[in-house]
Amino acid sequence: MVVTAFARSDSTREGVVPFNAARHLRQVTELVSAIFADELDASGRSMLREMRLVGQLSPFLGGLLSVAFFDNFVAGYVWVEAGRVIGNATLQRADFTGIRWRISNVAVAPGRRGLGIAYHLMEATVREIAKRGGNWAVLQVQADNPAARHLYESLGFTDVCQDGVWKLPVLPANPPRPDPNVALRPLRASAWRDRLDLAHAACTSLAHWADAVNPADYQMSLWQYLGEMLGNLTGFYRVARWGVLGEADWLGAVETHATGIADSHTLRFAVRPEARGKLEDTLVAQGLRTLAGAPDRPVLVEHSADHAEGVAALEAAGFRPQRVLLTMRRLIVPGDAGKT
Ligand SMILES: CC(C)(COP(=O)(O)OP(=O)(O)OC[C@H]1O[C@@H](n2cnc3c(N)ncnc32)[C@H](O)[C@@H]1OP(=O)(O)O)[C@@H](O)C(=O)NCCC(=O)NCCS
């Protein structure tokens, strides 16, 4: 059975209905929190807490609060049956210019799946982007969610890039050895332009389109230098950076942050395209060696899942994927605005 998309203009509308914060916020929050309970990260959970709070308050404030909070920032569509929201697709502007729009919280209640509800919601949302003059619809989906990927592909979305988080539950007693034939050198904190340049080079143009390398993540203020020095002296927070220098540029680098305070240590590494497949094992091994002796905490790595050699190096060192998010996009064409 396939449901039909229909809507009336009064408050008893059923089927695809534009999201209205005053009317739908509480039910959308309930639906999304139930379906994504296991997947939400800390920021998602805190956003949901705020949504729940506003949803609970809104009846007392005549919906004003929720309208003020959400209608300016959040649009999208819900699917309503017998007065209940059973499906949702949230739409938000993804940049100041309104060129890109982000679709999220795509969810349908378990008992009503496979009927085309998500498809209708997504169609309405794409149409909405076209009407608002947007050029791109962007979304993220867990790489291991074939149902959702199939849905988005059937609507014309294509893959942009994959980003993952890998975790090593405990520090290894005997970290792997870097390749002795690879000349590793310490990389100074002040060489942030070199690290930024390397990060740019390591990133594919599509990945850069999705999430541009941010110079602010590499620039260091005087306070940060001092903080690093103090952390390294006291041992509370140790930062280590090593790299492999080519004829003109750094070919690859690894940076670790060992903490006595936070829940996990972090490691990040980057490799220029021309050095791919040659440095990854060594950089991961060197990163783990710099963490030797640090308090026993897991190690987290955020890295491109499209960098196959990097993923292989992480997994060979015992890291396991926590989650891999695929970014997908769809070009909005003028005809999208008129589709019914
Ligand atoms: C993904 C989800 C939103 C799809 O909702 P839905 O209403 O069942 O999807 P539709 O009925 O509109 O199906 C659209 C397409 O996806 C396919 N599809 C739906 N469920 C599927 C499943 N479990 N496995 C494989 N394909 C599936 C349908 O066959 C249809 O493809 P077709 O037109 O080629 O037949 C729903 O399964 C859900 O809420 N999942 C949990 C939350 C989630 O993962 N959201 C995505 C976050 S990015």
pLDDT at res. 128:
95
CB of 119 shorter than 6 A to ligand 1: yes
Q: How far is the CA of 118 from the centre of ligand 1 (A)?
A: 7
In a domain? residue 112: yes
In a domain? residue 35: yes
Q: Are 141 and 330 in contact (CB under 8 A)?
A: no
264: domain CATH number?
3.40.630.30
Q: How far is the CA of 68 from the centre of ligand 1 (A)?
A: 32
Are 188 and 311 within one domain?
Answer: yes
**Long-range contacts at 32-35 (CB < 8 A, ≥ 24 apart):** 32/88, 32/105, 32/107, 35/107, 35/109, 35/110
Are 189 and 61 within one domain?
Answer: no
pLDDT at res. 152:
98
What whole-number distance in Å separates Cα of residue 77 and Cα of residue 277? 45
CB of 103 shorter than 6 A to ligand 1: no
Q: How far is the CA of 149 from the centre of ligand 1 (A)?
A: 8
In a domain? residue 157: no
pLDDT at res. 234:
86
Are 191 and 304 within one domain?
Answer: yes
In a domain? residue 127: yes
Q: Write a three-state SS string for the chain.
A: CCCCCCCCCCCCCCEEEECCHHHHHHHHHHHHHHHCCCCCCHHHHHHHHHHHHHHHHCCCCCCHHHHHHHHCCEEEEEEEECCEEEEEEEEEECCCCCCEEEEEEEEECHHHCCCCHHHHHHHHHHHHHHHCCCCEEEEEEECCCHHHHHHHHHCCCEEEEEEEEEEECCCCCCCCCCCCCCCCEECCCCCHHHHHHHHHHHCCHHHHHHCCCCHHHCCCCHHHHHHHHHHHHHCCEEEEEEEEECCCCEEEEEEEEEECCCCCEEEEEEECHHHCCCCHHHHHHHHHHHCCCCCCCCEEEEEECCCHHHHHHHHHCCCEEEEEEEEEEEECCHHHHHCC
pLDDT at res. 46:
63
In a domain? residue 153: no
Pocket test for ligand 1, best of 16, 91, 108, 125 (most atoms within 8 A of CB): 108
- Report the number of distinct structural domains present in the chain: 2
In a domain? residue 306: yes
Strand order in 136-142's β-sheet? 15-18, 74-81, 84-93, 100-108, 136-142, 320-331, 158-168, 299-304, 265-271, 250-259, 237-245, 185-186
In a domain? residue 334: no
pLDDT at res. 235:
80
Q: How far is the CA of 110 from the centre of ligand 1 (A)?
A: 10
Are 226 and 290 within one domain?
Answer: yes
CA dihedral 80, 46, 95, 203 (to 10 degrees): -120
Q: Are strands 320-331 and 185-186 parallel, antiparallel or unpaired?
A: unpaired
Task: Give per-residue pLDDT as tens, 9-25.
Answer: 445 678 999 998 888 98
What whole-number distance in Å separates Cα of residue 126 and Cα of residue 129? 5
Which regions of the chain are under pLDDT 70?
1-12, 40-73, 339-340
Domain extent, residue 122, equals 15-134
Take atom 40 of ligand 1 and give the residue whose Cα is closest.
107
CA dihedral 166, 169, 171, 177 (to 10 degrees): -40
Are 182 and 319 within one domain?
Answer: yes
Are 171 and 318 within one domain?
Answer: yes
- In degrees and rounded to multiples of 5, residue 3 shows phi and psi of -75, 155
Take atom 19 of ligand 1 and give the residue whose Cα is closest.
114
CB of 320 shorter than 6 A to ligand 1: no
Are 107 and 230 within one domain?
Answer: no
In a domain? residue 51: yes
Are 176 and 77 within one domain?
Answer: no
Are 170 and 316 within one domain?
Answer: yes
Are 59 and 197 within one domain?
Answer: no
Are 249 and 300 within one domain?
Answer: yes
Are 120 and 175 within one domain?
Answer: no
